[in-house]
Amino acid sequence: MIKTYLRPTGFVESPQRHDGESLRLAGTMIWFSQIEYIQRDATSTQRLLVSVSGWDAFTASLSDTVRERCALLLEHIAAPRAALQMGARTIRLDQPHVMGIINATPDSFFDGGKNFDADVAADAAFKMSSAGAAIIDVGGESTRPGAALIWEGEELGRVEPLIRKLAGAGTAISIDTRKASVMEGAVKAGATMINDISALLYDERAVEVARASNVPVVLMHAPSQGSDPHKDGVYNDVVCDVFDWLEQRVLAVEAAGITRDRILVDPGIGFGKSLAENLSIINNLSMYHALGCTILFGASRKRLIGALSNEAAADERLGGSIFLAMKAVEQGAQIVRVHDAAETVQAIQVWRGLRDAALTATI
């Protein structure tokens, strides 16, 4: 079976100087001038770069089935994403946003559990919000390699007091969990997004809870949806394999009653993927716009940064974290999930200034 993919590339700083030669990427501040046309079967992958201006002529020579597939993928790539409604907060997706991470666990790989206390965690979250983080992602169970699974009641008990504190201050809150009862309790406490590393597959009730909650939902790729999400990571072509998996998952969740404008996708950097596989996904992140969903990207402080920088420990990976976040932003990722909110917000603000200058430059 032959499968077709499209990846927007050839990004243009000032599209107004090249009328008709580029397209806007998902309604963001980014324009692309080329489309990488990818076809693969069980044994090989073929790639061809086609200019935006020559795209219609190129697709005219394709079979009807492939041409229709290309039209759908390109429509998804170019279509603006609807704003996320998170309670009283509206988050527009024409510019990138920061999601700040709060791990309300005693064994966080980064902070060592300092945010396990609800008051300490709330202070940290408020600082992130004040620094410009649009969303705070609260999690009560570690999913690092080798982490122990905890009882759902304990997990909810860790996050619920914190969520209530943050919701009372009007914070847009995401609950990072794969358990339906935790989703229910967190939404009741004031969470307005569900971020599930199992893409609503770990708990058989998760899809229905997410649908009934009527909040945006993040579907993340992991090779296993069991207790160990890092297990069984075997790929033929990791970029395309992850795309295929997410595409089928989006269709299934959409069929279950959750509209695509409420679905976000995350390729799952660091989950059951080798260093080379993680880097390949990051370098080709723009391809995931063809899913027609908002992209959430998370590589903050992860081990791949240490692997590329003399085995730097988690508390020494700030530079790499910011660079990877900006690599994602430059490919149109609408949300970057980070531990270092203030620093990442500043980096995005500088990038935004550069983009504004380029897009308003006189011809």
**Is 317 an active-site residue?**
no
- Give the β-pairing of 217-220 and 193-196: parallel
337 is catalytic: yes
85 Rama sector, left if φ>0, alpha if ψ -120 to 50, beta otherwise? beta
- Which segments within the chain are labelled E, that is strand? 3-12, 23-24, 31-40, 45-51, 84-86, 89-91, 97-103, 135-139, 173-176, 193-196, 217-220, 263-266, 294-297, 335-338
**Helix (H), strand (E) at residue 82:** none
Is residue 276 classed as helix, strand or coil in its secondary structure?
Answer: helix
**Cβ distance 214 to 86 under 8 Å?**
no
- Of these residues, 24, 158, 262, 302, which one is catalytic? 302
Dist. CA 116–CA 102, nearest whole Å:
9
Candidate list 158, 179, 317, 337, residue with the active-site label: 337
Looking at residue 205, the DSSP 8-state letter turns out to be T
> Inter-axis angle of helices 118-131 and 152-168, to 10 degrees?
50
* 3-state SS assignment for residue 37: strand
How many angstroms separate the CA atoms of 291 and 254, rounded? 12
CA 270 to CA 144: how far, in whole Å? 9
* Burial of 241 per CB tally in 10 Å (0-12, 13-18, 19+): middle
Amino acid making up residue 294: T
Q: Which of 265, 192, 276, 190 is nearest to 233 (CA)?
A: 276
> What are the catalytic residues?
302, 337
